[in-house]
Structure formats: structure tokens, C-alpha cells
């Protein structure tokens, strides 16, 4: 999902999608437990939603 978001952001020149996509690709290497991974993913998607609603 992270790579797809990054690619979409790059094609459409949307910085928020590129940043969240890049973070979603990288953060699983730094977190070892499933519950924090899910929490971080939900937070990143919420931030992306908020940034999109604000027009970023």
C-alpha cells in the first residue's frame, strides 16, 4: 500500500501522498510488534485524509 501511495503521489504531484507512502514503506522495518504497526498505519492514513481535506 505504501508503494502504491508513493507512486500515485509522484504521478499526480501530490506531496502528502508521497510522504505518507514513503513512511508506510519504511516504518515496518522499525516496529517489531503488530499492534503498534496497525496504530501507526491508522495514524498515517488519518493524517493523509486530513491533509487531503485541507487541499494539501
Question: Residue 7's pLDDT is what?
Answer: 96
- With a cut of 90, say whether residue 40 has pLDDT above it: yes
CA distance 40 to 27: 8
Provide the pLDDT for residue 55.
87
- Cα separation, 40 vs 36, in Å, equals 6
Residue 14 is predicted with a pLDDT of 94
Question: How far apart (Å, rounded) are the C-alpha atoms in residues 29 and 48?
Answer: 21
Q: Is the pTM of this model over 0.85?
A: yes
Percent of the chain with pLDDT over 90: 95
Break the chain into its structural domains and give their ranges: 2-53
- For the cut 90, the answer to whether the pLDDT of residue 56 exceeds it is no
Amino acid at each position: 500500500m505504501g508503494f502504491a501511495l508513493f507512486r500515485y503521489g509522484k504521478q499526480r504531484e501530490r506531496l502528502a501522498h508521497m510522504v505518507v507512502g514513503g513512511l508506510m514503506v519504511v516504518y515496518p522495518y522499525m516496529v517489531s510488534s503488530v499492534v503498534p504497526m496497525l496504530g501507526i498505519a491508522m495514524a498515517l492514513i488519518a493524517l493523509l485524509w486530513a491533509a487531503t481535506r485541507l487541499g494539501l
